[in-house]
Structure 1
Amino acid sequence: MGFPKNFLWGAASAAYQIEGAYNEDGKVPGIWDALSEGHVKHGENGNIACDHYHRYKEDVALLKKLGVKVYRFSVSWPRVMSGPDTVNPKGLAFYSDLVDELKAAGIEPMVTIFHWNLPMWAHEKGGWYNAEISDDFANYARVVADALSDRVRFWFTVNEPTTFIGNGYFTGAHAPFESLMQEQPAVMMNKLAALTKNVLLAHGKAVRVLRSRAKLAPKIGMALNGSVYLPENESPDAIEKARTQMFPEQAFFSHFNWWADPAVLGCVPAGLQPFFTAEELKVICQPLDFFGFNCYNASNYEEYMGPNPAVVPGMPRTAMDWPITPDALYWAARFLTERYHLPIIVTENGMANIDFVMSDGAVHDPQRIDFVKRYLAGLQRAVDENIPVKGYLYWSIMDNFEWAEGYDKRFGLVYVDYQTQQRIPKDSFYWYADVIKNNRIS
């Protein structure tokens, strides 16, 4: 058995994490450019990162060597729009050139419109609290669609609102480094609901723009993340318990249904209901072509919500301290399909490993190979059970700026020497290339 004939094997990246060129060719500051000082390990930042802005042709050549069918990258809002209505032609041209390079290499581009680096001009107007932001986002989506949709079919409106709202505005771990955790519960809920509504309205308005303006028939989704729960066993009761944990009636921003119920089903989890009108839900709930989700591990083994009896001493973890739970892709795909009835694309999956150039000049990462092999086995099970899984994108194509963790954590299939910008494909790169070539787990 293998994967479907037209399975979308790929890899992913994000603009701020790889591009660098933080102040070149008319790019204006984003919140990660302007606000991250004092919040990132070792005082690092994304000013240079992987210098992809200048080295994109080299990086596309690596993608071609890998053999990917698709490549998901994000457009930088502050690179493209220097104000709500002001387009930066040079910034837009970079993405047009990147798309051309990908197409010439036989790689289908997938565009994420927003992957976290909000322009400072938008932040200074209130950021995601500002009711005007959804219109600004729709205008930005229009600019990008007009420039790229003659060559781009796949679109993701936003990446991981659970994280950019949760870490950016709730815990304060990510830009803009604001925290609601000390607020009174009613105040916290009011603010969280406002943030949520504005993100979802931005998504809905962007989908409308793409449907009305795209030159190629668009395929549109989101790249969501959320808590995934594994059943203790495969009895009906255990499966139903895990499903209920994944989509609780009293959802919070960390659950898939907080975001996906309004966007896909047109309904709102219990705690959010007072904050949405029927008219707003009509804007938010737009037809989508697939359900994109990022999945690294199951939540059964997390300790951030308090002691968890599922945690066992010495269980395997990645360099991010995330538990290794290979069945997460299977159960996530199954539960998400059952609830939302959309084809599935795994938009991110991978692991941070302790990678370095060894004495033979190579980067050997058997842990990553084993990690991906196990997770893909779960995805293979989903395919075998006729769950409509359409693609898998490894995160990430290359080592990059891992947000508040700086450059210590390496997720890439390609090793990046940040002092020289040398790229070295790791053993996992060649293993994954073999998977793609043969359309089955090697």
Structure 2
Amino acid sequence: MALTCLLGALAFPTRASAEVPDDFLWGVATSGFQSEGSSSDSNWSRYSDSGRTHHKIGDSVDFRHRYAEDIDRAADLGSKVFRFGVEWARVQPAAGIWNETEFAYYDDVVAHIRARGMTPMITLDHWVYPGWVVDQGGWTNPKTEADWLVNAEKVVERYSGIGALWITINEPTVYVQRELTYGGIALTQAPSMFDSLVRAHRAIYDRIHVLDPGARVSSNFSFIPGVSEAIDSVFTDRVRDKLDFLGIDYYYGVALNNPTAAYAALDEFYNVTPQPEGLYDALMRYSDKYPELPLYIVENGMPTDNGAPRADGYTRANHLRDHIYWMERAREDGADVIGYNYWSITDNYEWGSYRPRFGLYTVDVLGDPTAARIPTDGVDAYRRIIHENGVGADYVPVMAPAFCSLVDPPRSCTATR
């Protein structure tokens, strides 16, 4: 990494003091199906059992029974926000039937988050729906949209008045892509699924503002470099007027000298060379495109291959500090960034595989029956970032900018940052 550090030192201008406001929302993220274990019957429990995934879900990291300790870990970092999901398949295991035991579990999750001084960020749909919805055709059946809204409204009613941030639908574009991959929909049905997700978001946005006045609501989208306009057109542009902030998930960039984003299409994110300055390009793009909307980085993180060190020596701590540097640069240049969540507090089931390890705390699900949480170097790094409210004006990133970034072409290739 010595050459990269030297190039980095030569590449970055002197900065003015980075003023991250005291009310900036530092957080961590998780999701229901990926981390809870003890899975209820759902589209994804069936995909996991189908033999088409690398691994079965099993008990994952058992957040279902160990949520209190993981919430404590987040609070001990200084986190202000804890993101989790309320799984539809848990709380409504059959049409018209509500499981109060599972709602009581989520009640306790919320209580622990609040008791530790954090704001719950609640996701209503993280790509998982109940088995009985699968049996009626999933998103190919128009009835599913109405059923989805019944569940979402039930969840909002239960947790209104607690100051929650609401995420309606996680990464709609990737949601549709995953349903295509595993047979939930056919290619010809993708447009109608997008239409249903748009209508569902718009409807629940309005209901949240009736049931939980003053709450802030969004849907986080997966930033895919170079094709942002096409991605925006199928969902975000269509709900722009029903967002209180724009949720952005940024994981990787692409450049003339960094084609490794192709590994993302193979779900081999651990082989992607990180491109931290692409976060700046993404934030500036949406600051310009949607100037009325604050920006929140709902997900950002770096996976390793089964927890092994990267061959290039780049660490989770490097990744965290470099991305926060570029977030601060975007704020200095006018982007109204109000929050940042690290994905994720622990390793989890990455939609068919335990090989990608994103966690601040690593967990060897397949090899360690105790599912011990082992801190990575990202824990101390993020704790310090939160304590100091950023990386500060003197920080020099480890990873130098790529040559001719194609994150937001042509501007990202030619711009002087």
Same structural fold, with TM-score higher than 0.5 when normalized by the shorter chain: yes
Correspondence for 2:246 among 266, 275, 291: 291
Structure 2 equivalent of residue 232 of structure 1: none
Distance of aligned partners of 1:217 and 1:84 in 2 relative to their CA distance in 1, 3 Å threshold? farther
Structure 2 equivalent of residue 374 of structure 1: 322
8 Å CA contact retained: 2:26, 2:79: yes
Correspondence for 1:90 among 101, 124, 140: 101
Residue 314 of structure 1 and its aligned partner are, at CA, apart by 12
Structure 2 equivalent of residue 257 of structure 1: 233
Residue 319 of structure 1 and its aligned partner are, at CA, apart by 5.0
Which structure is richer in relative contact order (CA contacts within 8 A, separation 6 or more)? Answer: 2
- CA-to-partner distance for each residue in 1:230-274, whole Å, 9 max, x for gaps? xxxxxxxxxxxxxxx532xxx3xxx1232111111xxxxxxxxxx
8 Å CA contact retained: 2:258, 2:273: no
- Aligned residue type for 2:52: H
Of 126-135 and 339-348, more deviation after overlay is shown by 126-135
Residue 374 of structure 1 and its aligned partner are, at CA, apart by 1.7
Structure 2 equivalent of residue 403 of structure 1: 351
8 Å CA contact retained: 1:30, 1:119: yes
Structure 2 equivalent of residue 201 of structure 1: 199
Q: RMSD of the alignment, in Å?
A: 2.4
Using the alignment, how far apart are the partners of 2:261 and 2:151 within structure 1?
Answer: 47
Distance of aligned partners of 1:393 and 1:83 in 2 relative to their CA distance in 1, 3 Å threshold? same
8 Å CA contact retained: 2:246, 2:296: yes
- Aligned residue type for 2:332: D
With the length of structure 2 as denominator, give the TM-score of the two structures: 0.82
Distance of aligned partners of 1:134 and 1:398 in 2 relative to their CA distance in 1, 3 Å threshold? same
Residue 167 of structure 1 and its aligned partner are, at CA, apart by 2.4
Instruction: Give yes or no for the alignment of 1:413 onto 2:360.
Output: yes
Instruction: Give yes or no for the alignment of 1:431 onto 2:381.
Output: yes
Using the alignment, how far apart are the partners of 1:421 and 1:351 within structure 2?
Answer: 20
Residue 384 of structure 1 and its aligned partner are, at CA, apart by 0.6
- Aligned residue type for 1:110: M
Distance of aligned partners of 1:312 and 1:203 in 2 relative to their CA distance in 1, 3 Å threshold? closer
Instruction: Give yes or no for the alignment of 1:154 onto 2:152.
Output: no
Count of aligned residue pairs for this structure pair: 364
8 Å CA contact retained: 1:31, 1:176: no
Residue 62 of structure 1 and its aligned partner are, at CA, apart by 0.7
Instruction: Give yes or no for the alignment of 1:35 onto 2:47.
Output: yes
Structure 2 equivalent of residue 140 of structure 1: 151
- CA-to-partner distance for each residue in 1:418-441, whole Å, 9 max, x for gaps? 221111221111111000011021
Taking the TM superposition and a 5 Å limit, the aligned residue runs for 1:382-401 are 382-401=330-349
Distance of aligned partners of 1:35 and 1:370 in 2 relative to their CA distance in 1, 3 Å threshold? same
Instruction: Give yes or no for the alignment of 1:218 onto 2:173.
Output: no
Using the alignment, how far apart are the partners of 2:210 and 2:31 within structure 1?
Answer: 26
With the length of structure 1 as denominator, give the TM-score of the two structures: 0.77
- Aligned residue type for 1:203: H
- CA-to-partner distance for each residue in 1:132-188, whole Å, 9 max, x for gaps? 22211111111101111122420010001111101222xx1xx456553xxxxxxx3
| Structure 1 runs, 4 residues or longer, greater than 6 Å off | 313-318
- Aligned residue type for 1:223: N
Identity value in percent:
29
8 Å CA contact retained: 1:153, 1:217: no
- Aligned residue type for 1:16: F
8 Å CA contact retained: 1:366, 1:428: no
Structure 1 residue runs without a partner (length 5+): 23-27, 181-187, 230-244, 265-284, 302-308, 359-364
Structure 2 equivalent of residue 11 of structure 1: 28
Using the alignment, how far apart are the partners of 1:166 and 1:319 within structure 2?
Answer: 16
